[in-house]
Each structure stands twice: as structure tokens, then as C-alpha cells.
Amino acid sequence: MSNTVIIGTQWGDEGKGKIVDMLAEKSSAIVRFQGGNNAGHTLVVGGETCILHLIPSGILHPGKICLIGNGVVLDPEVFLKEIDALAAKGVDVSPERMMISKKAQIIMPYHRLLDNCRESLKSEDSKIGTTGRGIGPCYEDKASRIGIRAADLADPELLRSKIEEALIEKNALFENLFKAEPLDTEKVYQEILPIAERIKPFLADASSVIQECRKKGMILFEGAQGIHLDIDHGTYPFVTSSNTVAGNAAAGAGCGPRTLERIIGIVKAYTTRVGSGPFPTELFDANGEALQQAGHEFGATTGRKRRCGWLDLVVLRESARLCDLTEFALTKLDVLSGLDEISICTAYEYRGEKIDYPPQEQNGMAYCKPVYETMPGWKEDITEVKSFDELPQAARDYINRIEEISGVRVGIVSVGPDRAQTIVR
């Protein structure tokens, strides 16, 4: 099996967790390489649901190594809560198989506070609608070279001095700009000490663990968010603060780009988005409502209602171009059952021109009008379908059309949330 990268091709919540869980069985290690607990990845096994925010979605497979790479921003409290919840269910989360890169950045209470202060000061139309988990401010500190790294949790003196340094600027902002209470170095330090003590056993040289695991089998790289939330290539400024494209799997895990062999782009059979930002195919009618209801489109992290719309091939074409996708995994196809007609956006009208790729100007997508092609829907329930040939003709036509327009093969089709409801072509 080839080393495989799983990434979202849209604006997140495409069903990455489900596909990672499914492919984990054949892997030796599963690695998160960017993002943090802004992610919410849902696994359903035998009717039981498990939502993971930080821990790799391979954790339910006994014996597989699970790694949090250097590119991740890790909230240690959230990590420990997740560990405790899994342990209570009998899942092995021991440091023998669950490891954190010593180079991963740590989300501190002042990052969460700053995230929320920033959002509350913004005007309604400039709010990003972040998850409020401190993701952006933590990546800012990494780039400013004042971040706390996981290994620092094992060095109390360094930890204390780093908190002190970080709070000089932060407290000036809290007090003077945001009119919030400043944070006390000693209090922040004392609160993190017992957490740090519990994190210590999980610290590892992730890069060398990956090299070892490569000898035993395939490495599965688990992306978070989606390509159009990428800090460089997404709908800036309505994006997250990390690179979500496949290329970052190497940098964020600590291996070379030649390690990445198979790149699977996860595509929801329609489009959703949580938070603000342009969304050309968004529906404000009964069809949008139907997708939201049938797809249970509520955020797995914040519980917010997800905005819904038709599938956008302009977005997918760009995703294929940016990530060299070797195939698509198409999820939630079952949600489209029952519609009379299904629309696919094949191009945009932008400033009087027809375009095949998203415009590169800031917020250009907000001025794009989707050009649609309409296809007949199907009425059959497909949640028990086990092979591609058993799918209704209209569903097969829909898949074939996606392949034709994007030039990317659909290798996996998901027809329900459960691990078992998956067709491999």
C-alpha cells in the first residue's frame, strides 16, 4: 500500500475522519499534520459515534501508531480530555502508540482569549467566524518565534520564561485595546504545570517514528479543514491559519515530499461551509434546507448550522491542481437521494467573463455567479448499496460527470456514516 494523504477538497467537514478510519486498518501509522482542535472528525463504527478533534482518526484500530505532527497546534487540555474519554471506552491511548511531536506548538489560554477578543471587535461583515479555539493566535506566535513547543512542557524554567515573554505583548492588547483582564504569568504557569506533567510521556521525535513505521507499512496523513480554507490558497481572509494543501503533509509531519504517494481528496457530494466567507453555490431555498436537514449539517466542533449548496466543480478543479490529487473519495451521496434534479456548478461568471478556476483577487469568489448544469436525481435509498454497479443509473451518471469535468477518478464512494457503508471501486 502506498503512503496516503487524506485532505478535504472543499471548506471542511467532507468526511475525512470516516475515510481515515476506514484506511487506518491497512496503515502502520496515522499522522495529523496541521490544524488543531478547530477540526471535528466523526467516526461511526457499528452504529457508535466518536468525534475526534485532535487525536488521529486511526485510534480505534488497536496497535496502530497515532502521531500528532509538528505542524499541529495542540491544546493540551483538549488532548487530555480526549485521551480520558477514549480510555474510558476501553481504547488503548498509551504513549506506546499515541505520540506528540516535541516540535508541535502549544495553544495557551491567552491564544483562546485573543481569538475571541479579535472576533468580537470585528464588524459583522469582517468577522471570520473562527471556532474560537485559539488556532490563529497560536500560529501567529509560532511565526513570531515566541511559541511554546510541546517539548518545552518538560522544561519548567523555559516554560515559565516563555509565558512571561508572550504575555508582555498580549497583556498590552488585552488591557488597552480589548479592555479585557490581563493574565498573570504565575497563574497561567501554575495552571499548566500539572497538565504539562501529564503530557510529558506522550512526547516523541515524530519524524524518526515515521521513518521506523515506513518500514512496516503505509503511513496515513490526516488533513484537517479543507483546501479552500488554506491560509495561502483558500478564500483569504476567510480561511484558517495553516496550509491545508497536501504539500504540507510532509512539512507538518517531518518527512520528505517523496514520502507522499497517493493523495485522496475527500469530496462531499454537495457543498457545505461553516463560518463566514464567499460560497458561490450556496442555496437559500428549499433545496438548501433539504440538504441541511438530510445531511444533519451541524458543525462537529461548534454545533453551528452549516451553510449548504450544490457541488462546485470550479472549487474541485482548483483542489486537484493545488494538490495533485490521485483520486476523489465521494461522501454523503446518500443525502442526495430523493431530489428530482441535482445541479453541478461547472464554471463561474466573473466580471463579464466565464472562468474555470476561482479568481485570485481577495474575495473575488464573492463576485462569482455559478454556471450550472442540471442532472436528473434518483429516488432509491442507497445506504445499503455495496458496489458501484448496484447504484441507480442517475447516481452513476452523477459520479461519471464529476470525473469527466474534474479529470479526477472517484475511487471511493460513501453512502452512509458507518465505516461499513463504503464502496471501493
**133/170 with CB nearer ligand GDP:** 133
Return all residues near 141 (Cβ < 8 A) that are at least 6 apart. Answer: 105, 111, 147, 148, 166
Q: Which of 72, 209, 335, 412 binds ligand GDP (CB under 6 A)?
A: 335
Mask for 40-79, x = binds ligand GDP (CB under 6 A): xxx-x-----------------------------------
Closest of 145, 158, 168, 230 to residue 189, by C-alpha: 158
Q: Which does 135 bind (CB under 5 to 8 A by kind): ligand GDP, ligand IMO, Mg ion, none?
A: ligand IMO
Q: Which of these ranges, 37-45, 85-93, 310-318, 394-402, lies near ligand GDP under the rule CB under 6 A? A: 37-45
HSE-up of residue 204 (Cα within 13 Å, Cβ side): 23
In DSSP notation, 134-155 reads: SHHHHHHHHHTT-PPBGGGGG-
**187/305 with CB nearer ligand IMO:** 305
358 interacts with ligand IMO by CB under 6 A: no
Q: Which of 13, 75, 152, 418 is labelled catalytic?
A: 13
314 and 341 Cβ atoms separated by less than 8 Å: no
265 interacts with Mg ion by CB under 5 A: no
39 interacts with ligand IMO by CB under 6 A: yes
166 and 140 Cβ atoms separated by less than 8 Å: no
Active site residue 381: no
225 interacts with ligand IMO by CB under 6 A: yes
Site size for ligand GDP (CB under 6 A): 21
Q: CA–CA separation, 230 vs 224, rounded Å?
A: 10
Return all residues near 350 (Cβ < 8 A) that are at least 6 apart. Answer: 359, 364, 367, 368, 369
Residue whose CB is nearest to ligand IMO in the complex, by number: 275
Q: Which of 331, 337, 346, 406 binds ligand GDP (CB under 6 A)?
A: 331
- Residue 198 sits at the vertex; the CA angle it makes with 197 and 201, to the nearest 5 degrees, is 95
In DSSP notation, 6-43 reads: EEESSSS-SSHHHHHHHHHTTEEEEEE-SB-TT--EEE
319 interacts with ligand IMO by CB under 6 A: no
224 interacts with ligand IMO by CB under 6 A: yes
16 interacts with ligand GDP by CB under 6 A: yes
Site for ligand GDP in 105-164 (CB under 6 A): none
Active site residue 41: yes
Q: Which of 8, 40, 58, 147 binds Mg ion (CB under 5 A)?
A: 40
CB of 32 to ligand GDP, least distance (A): 12
Q: Is 62 exposed, middle or buried (0-12, 13-18, 19+ CB in 10 A)?
A: exposed
From the CB of residue 287, how many other CB atoms can be counted at a distance below 10 Å?
A: 18
416 interacts with ligand GDP by CB under 6 A: yes
14 interacts with ligand GDP by CB under 6 A: yes
Alpha helices in 58-155 (DSSP H): 76-88, 109-121, 135-143
Return all residues near 207 (Cβ < 8 A) that are at least 6 apart. Answer: 70, 101, 253, 254, 255
**61/228 with CB nearer ligand IMO:** 228
Q: Which of 82, 141, 230, 334 binds ligand GDP (CB under 6 A)?
A: 334
CB of 221 to ligand IMO, least distance (A): 13
| Cell numbers standing for residue 355 | 472562468
Report the catalytic residues.
13, 41
Which residues form the interface with ligand GDP (CB under 6 A)? 8, 12-18, 40-42, 44, 300, 331-332, 334-335, 414-417
